[in-house]
Amino acid sequence: MIIRRWSAAALCGALAALMTGALPATASAEPTREKEPPKVQLVIDASGSMKAKDIDGQSRMAAAQQAFNEVIDAMPEEVHLGIRTLGANYPGQDLAKGCVDSEQLYPVGPVDRTEAKAAVATLRPVGWTPIGYALRGAVEDLGTGEGMRRIVLITDGEDSCGQPDPCDVARELAAQGTQLTIDTLGLTPADAKVRDQLSCIAEATGGTYTAVQDTEQLGERLKQLVDRTAEKPLENPTGVTGAADCAGAPLLGTGVYSDRAEFGEHRWYRVQVAPGREVRASVSVAADRPVDRDYGVLLRALDEDGHELVRGSEAGHGRTDVVSTGLRYPSAAEEEQTVCLEVGTSFSAPESVQRTPGMPVELTVDLAAAPDAHVDAAAYGLARGWVPLALLTVTGLLAGLLWGFIRRAF
């Protein structure tokens, strides 16, 4: 009973201490500025070719409408949704009219599921495919701001108007430096022209292209992209350009940085590490275009003389969106030390895949307090050697004898 009472008291004291230390003081909390909600604009192709019945025995338009309804039902509350059409209204042969046939079907904002579904249900495939014109309209629908913005284009064909060229439009948007990503979903199987154009649009903004095979895949991919829009980054990355060697590399502090690297390119960065500090770094590379089956990413920390200190690497095969790796290096130097970070990739792709701009790279750097080298290793894990083993054996024997005495006495 004595042991049980002591254990209960100790547990209560520990819980009280944890609660006291864990609860923040309300008076010291700083007010947080409300951020803009993430926005996603779904752009649906309603051109005449969407009548084709080659997706699970139903028309391409019916498959898209079914996927839209599933996404609307699963829409995260914090995401604002909009829907824009292309080719939904003009069935004639006048090029000038057909190439401006794009309208906002549902305004970007909080989702009224009944209204959004009713709007999608009215669509009938009739017109042209003015993709470039529709993308510009979609950007205007989303507006400006600091929040994440995503356009998801669902189409079964390439742009039928030529001007504005959708790839050029996507590059213009990427050059503006806004937080905008365009993802493309192709409903035409094995069409090289459509695949190349939709890949080009996605690549320009760091988005992804997916060739859809059936209704289930279309619905799942749409949900993934919408959910990704709702993911809130820890902080906005700072743009940086890595160098070809450590000597000319940019100096980084604690933070998140974005860059672009072409296939097989090595990029260098530098950090200054004070005594008693530790570098914690990670890198993620987005495979934003069709790549070959095997790939990898390498992150190395080296000193100024080129000696490797530590490395992290990751490799895989098949389709992936992001591949990441990381490392930790505690500095043992008595003075401030320059550590070089090298990022390399082993991605490759068919000749038809565009190389520029390079693939998105996100590098996270943290300069934290290093573990105390003077603390005995036994404080962090099991001790080693015969002396600790002997002490543990004797301690266990004495504890057993004491426990037997207590049971007989009480």
Q: What is the pTM of this model?
A: 0.55
Calculate mean pLDDT across residues 17-25: 39
Whole-number percent of the chain with pLDDT over 90: 38
Instruction: Please tell me the distance from the alpha carbon of residue 317 to that of residue 296, in angstroms, as a whole number.
Output: 9
189 three-class SS: coil
How is the chain split among helix, strand and coil, in percent rounded to 5?
A: 30, 30, 40
Query: Any idea which of 6-20, 44-58, 74-88 has the lowest mean pLDDT?
Result: 6-20
Residue 5 has pLDDT above 60, yes or no: no
pLDDT in tens, 154-204: 998 888 898 889 988 988 887 776 678 898 998 876 578 888 888 888 877
pLDDT at 81: 94
Is the pLDDT higher at 319 or at 65? 65
Residue pointed to by tokens 């038809």: 352
Q: Which two tokens stand for residue 232?
A: 């809130």
pLDDT in tens, 54-95: 888 899 999 999 999 999 998 888 899 999 999 999 999 999
pLDDT bin (cut points 50, 70, 90) of residue 287 is confident
Residue 163 · residue 132 · CB < 8 Å: yes
**Greater pLDDT, 398 or 87:** 87
CATH of 39-230, one of 3.40.350.10, 1.20.1290.10, 3.50.50.60, 3.40.50.410: 3.40.50.410
CA 29 to CA 405: how far, in whole Å? 54
What is the rounded average pLDDT of the residues 250-257?
Answer: 91
Q: pLDDT tens, 228-238? A: 777 655 456 88
Amino acid at 375: V
Quote the tokens at residue 139: 């950007």
Distances (CA, A) of 223 to 71, 262, 344: 6, 29, 32
Q: What confidence tens digit (pLDDT) does each residue in 263-276 have?
A: 888 999 999 998 88
Residues in the chain: 410
Res 410: pLDDT: 52
Domain ranges in the chain? 39-230, 238-369
CATH of domain 238-369: 2.60.120.380
Mean pLDDT of the chain: 79
| Residue 374 exposed, middle or buried by CB count within 10 Å (0-12, 13-18, 19+) | exposed
The amino acid occupying position 224 is Q
